[in-house]
Every structure is written in C-alpha cells, then in structure tokens.
Amino acid sequence: MFDNTFTPEQQMLHQMVKDFTAKEVAPFDMAIDQKGDFTDGLFQKLIDNGFLGLTLPEEYGGAAFDPIATATTINDLAYGNASVGVTLEGHYKTLDQLMKYGNENIQKEYLDSANHRIFAFSNTEPSGGSNPTGISSTAVKEGNKWIINGDKVMITNGGLAEVYIILVKSGENEFSCFLIDKDMPGFSFGKREDFIGLRGTPVGEVVMNNIEVSEDHLIGKRGQGLEIADQAHDDARILMGAVLTGIMEHALKIASDYAKQRKALDTPLTDLQVIQEKIANIAISKELTKLVYQQAAIRKQNGQPYMEEAAMAKTFGSRSAVKAGDDALQVLAGYGYSREYPIEHLIRDARALEIAEGTVEKMRTAIAKAEFEK
Ligand SMILES: Cc1cc2nc3c(=O)[nH]c(=O)nc-3n(C[C@H](O)[C@H](O)[C@H](O)COP(=O)(O)OP(=O)(O)OC[C@H]3O[C@@H](n4cnc5c(N)ncnc54)[C@H](O)[C@@H]3O)c2cc1C
C-alpha cells in the first residue's frame, strides 16, 4: 500500500471523497443499479463538488490533482457504486488526451467548460472494438475544414457526455482524433446499450452525419490517432484498476459483516475455515490490485512508462473482482443470490471491465509483447 505516502492534500481529498461516498453514493447503490441511472441528483452533486474538474489545471477552474489522487478518488467512489467511478473514468481519460494533445485554441475553448460538461472517448464501431484499424468513420479535408461521418457505439457516457474525442480514418491507412460537440449540426445520439452491469453509467451510440469542424479540432497531429487512442486506454486502465479495487472492498465489507453476525448452528461463520479462506482471498486480490494500479499511477506521475502496469491492474483486477463477488456471494449463500443484496450486481459490474477499455485477451497480448521486448 502506498496510502501512507499520501501528501496532506491527497489525504484531505481521500477523506473528503470517502465522506461524500458514504453520504451521497453508497446509500443509493442499489437504486442506481435498479433504476439504471444516477438517482437523487447525484450527477449534479458530482459537478457541484468539483469532481469533473479534479484533474483540470487551476487556470481552467480545476483542482489540478495528480494521477494518484485521481485514481484514489475513483477507488473511493467505486466502493459506493462502480458506475459512479466508471462515469468519471470516461471523463478523466478523455480530458487527459485534450490536455496532452490538444492545441492551445481547442484547449481554451473546451477546458473552460470541462468542470461542468462531461467528456467521452469513442473508438468502438459496430464492426468491432479490439482492432481499431478496422473502423469506417472518416474525416475528409475540404479547404480548411474537416467533414466527419460515421457511427460510434458502446461509448462510456454516450448520451450523457456533451463533448467527444473520436477516432476516425483521415486517409488511406491513416487515423486521427477529432473533438466534436453534441451541439454541432450533424451530431445525434443513437441507441443506449442494455448492458447487464454498470447500470448507472450510460453506454451508448453517437452518429456523425457531415459534421464540419475546423483544423483546431484535430487532436494531436494528423495520423496520430492510434497513438492517442492507445494513450487513452492506458490512462483509463489505471482508473479501471481503481474501480475494481472499490468493487472488491465493497464485496469484502458485505461478506465480512455478514460472517460476523451469522451462525451455522452454534458456530459463528467467522470460525469456519472455508469462510475464512474466502474472506482472505478477497482481501488479497483487493490489496494486490490496489498495489498495481497505484504503481501505474506513480509511474504516470513520475513520467515513466506505465502501459504494462495499467494493463495488469485491469486484467488481474477484473477477473479477481468477479471471483471476489462470487466468493462473497457464497459467504451469504441464499441471501447472496438474492437481488435484495448488492453482491449479484457487483459481479455484473466487475464483469464489464474484462471487456471495456480493451478486452483481457488484448491486455495479455500487450503485456506479453512488453515482456518480450525487455
Ligand atoms: C461497459 C463498457 C464500456 C465501454 N466503453 C467504451 C468507450 O468509452 N469507448 C469505446 O470506444 N468503446 C467502449 N466500449 C467498447 C469496448 O472497448 C469493446 O467492447 C472492446 O474493445 C471489445 O470490442 P468488441 O466488443 O467489438 O469485441 P471484438 O473486438 O469483436 O472481440 C470479440 C472477441 O475476440 C477477441 N479478439 C478480437 N480481436 C483480438 C485480437 N487482436 N487479439 C486477441 N483477441 C481478440 C476479444 O478479446 C473478444 O473475446 C465499452 C464496452 C463496455 C462493455
């Protein structure tokens, strides 16, 4: 654990987010899953409490927090409800790319509103998400404008987000990223996915029909799109590790609290070795996932490569969190299998992260490639 190395500012934020989660997120966890939406004005409360601007530079009204504080915030919110963590993850990873690759004009125009307008990154198309060179969306240069057409699906915050960075083909075997706004002519929202988990986070489609943008909307250089998409994935995977740690903390708390009050005849569940083993396994997986995502965040903060650690956090964390949910369910047994307890939705939520931000199969390929290159 790197928690004991937090600066006073990181520690203060950590406490503030834990308090916010306890009051504004955790009590609504079940309702968020059942309604498929953030309840009781939670989204507005996230804005009012400065969560959207957490990573933004101060000149744009943000709090300029670092990658460790950002990941810890996602972890703390996801302990209350994973969808809340994932919605902010989608926003932060997109802002990271605008801050890193956007030119001065587009940064000025869009970073100013990023503490109250949500952002999203769109890569996947109906033809598939794992192999981005197979996309069909296009940007064609006409004079000093770009004309964008295409269809993006399964976008985290799709329908909720107001600003999108999209990956398109800008030439034969050339890929570029552009920033588009929901208020542009030719932009429309399509289908929202009926996913089995992370029900509070909208994941949906964006349709682009002859959207016209200026050169300023090109994010990074022409032809740099795949690099930016990879970078967005790396940034997201750190935060996915944080979401998964939050899910495992939640499963551990429920299973542990239950074991402490339940008896098997006269024997407390806490005295049964089979129960102890499950609790210990959840605790080990939670702690290991946390160590890896924190290590990736520290490397990011120090300007060191972090692709591999971020991929490990998501790959190890996602299967571990599904297993942690399953172990917790077994501790509660019949009650664990009931929709009246949150465990079944923790499993559904965790399962999404074996797919989103790159499947675990692709993660393992990337990790192995990095190892072979050593
Ligand atoms: C909750 C959620 C949120 C999401 N949010 C976003 C988002 O914000 N933005 C966005 O752009 N997309 C998003 N996605 C889409 C996600 O990125 C894709 O689902 C994912 O990349 C896989 O693409 P696919 O579903 O088309 O599967 P496919 O690419 O069709 O893959 C099918 C299967 O084949 C395997 N496979 C395919 N190609 C390879 C390969 N080269 N090597 C090894 N195995 C391979 C895959 O691992 C998988 O098992 C989200 C998805 C989910 C579930």
The residue from 357, 361, 371, 373 that is catalytic is: 357
* CATH, residue 74: 1.10.540.10
The residue range of the domain holding 177 is 120-221
Among 83, 89, 123, 124, say which to mutate for ligand 1: greatest number of ligand atoms within 8 Å of CB. Answer: 124
CATH number of the domain to which 182 belongs = 2.40.110.10
Does ligand 1 lie within 6 Å of residue 87's CB atom? no
Q: What angle do CA 366, 372, 373 make, to 5 degrees?
A: 90
If asked whether residues 33 and 158 sit together in one domain, one would say: no
* 330 and 277 housed in the same domain: yes
Alpha carbons 46 and 116: distance in angstroms, whole number? 9
Annotated active-site residue 357? The verdict is: yes
Phi, psi (5° rounding) for residue 348?
Answer: -65, -40
Same domain, 233 and 330: yes
**CB half-sphere exposure, 225, CA atoms < 13 A:** 27
Cα-based distances in Å from 151 to 67, 138, 168 = 32, 10, 10
Domain stops at, among 154, 187, 221: 221
Spacing, Cα 130 to ligand 1 middle (Å): 5
SS (H, E, C) 248-307: HHHHHHHHHHHHHHCEECCEEHHHCHHHHHHHHHHHHHHHHHHHHHHHHHHHHHCCCCCH
Is residue 89 within a helix (H) or strand (E), and if so which, with residue range? helix 82-101
Residue nearest to atom 50 of ligand 1 (CA): 356
Same domain, yes or no: 179 and 236: no
Which of 221, 256, 282 delimits the end of a domain?
Answer: 221
Residue that the structure tokens 């399509």 belong to: 190
Q: How far apart are CA 166 and CA 160, in angstroms?
A: 16
Task: List the structure tokens of 114.
Answer: 């990023």
CATH code, domain carrying 363: 1.20.140.10
- Ligand 1 centre distance from Cα of residue 360 (Å): 9
Tell me how many domains the chain contains.
3
Considering the domain architecture, whether residues 174 and 210 belong to the same structural domain is answered as: yes
- Same domain for 269 and 348, yes or no, is yes
Q: At what angle do helices 343-352 and 225-261 cross, to 10 degrees?
A: 160
Query: Looking at residue 212, what DSSP letter applies?
Result: E
Q: Is the CB of 196 under 6 A from ligand 1?
A: no
Report the residue among 86, 122, 355 best suited for mutation to probe ligand 1: largest number of ligand atoms under 8 A from its CB: 355
Same domain, residue pair 31 and 125:
no
Provide the 3-class DSSP secondary structure of residue 119.
strand
What pLDDT sits at residue 1? 58
Query: Using CB atoms within 10 A of its CB, is residue 34 exposed (0-12), middle (13-18) or buried (19+)?
Result: middle
Beta strand segments in the chain, E? 119-122, 138-142, 145-156, 163-171, 174-181, 187-192, 203-214, 218-219, 263-264, 267-268
pLDDT tens over the chain, length 374 residues: 577 789 999 999 999 999 999 999 999 999 999 999 887 799 999 999 999 999 999 999 999 999 999 999 999 999 999 999 999 999 999 999 999 999 999 999 999 999 999 999 999 999 988 999 999 999 999 999 999 999 999 999 999 999 999 999 999 999 999 999 999 999 999 999 999 999 999 999 999 999 999 999 999 999 999 999 999 999 999 999 999 999 999 999 999 999 999 999 999 999 999 999 999 999 999 999 999 999 999 999 999 999 999 999 999 999 999 999 999 999 999 999 999 999 999 999 999 999 999 999 999 999 999 999 99
Q: Which residue minimizes the CA distance to atom 6 of ligand 1?
A: 155
Rounded Cα gap, residues 313 and 295, in angstroms: 9
Distance CA 92, CA 90 (A): 6
pLDDT value at position 327? 98
Whether 124 and 101 share a structural domain: no
pLDDT of residue 39: 76
Asked whether residue 104 falls in the same domain as residue 58, the answer is: yes
Distance CA 141, CA 143 (A): 6
Same domain, 236 and 200: no
Distance 122 CA to ligand 1 centre (A): 12
Which of the 8 DSSP states describes residue 118? -
At residue 124, φ and ψ (nearest 5 deg) are -65, 145
Q: Please identify, among 221, 252, 269, the residue that sits at the C-terminal boundary of a domain.
A: 221
Are both 207 and 316 inside the same structural domain?
Answer: no
**Residue of the nearest CA to atom 37 in ligand 1?**
130
Question: Judging by beta carbons within 10 Å of its beta carbon (0-12, 13-18, 19+), is residue 283 exposed, middle or buried?
Answer: middle
Among protein residues, the one with the nearest Cα to ligand 1's atom 23 is 129
Indicate if 100 and 129 belong to the same structural domain. no
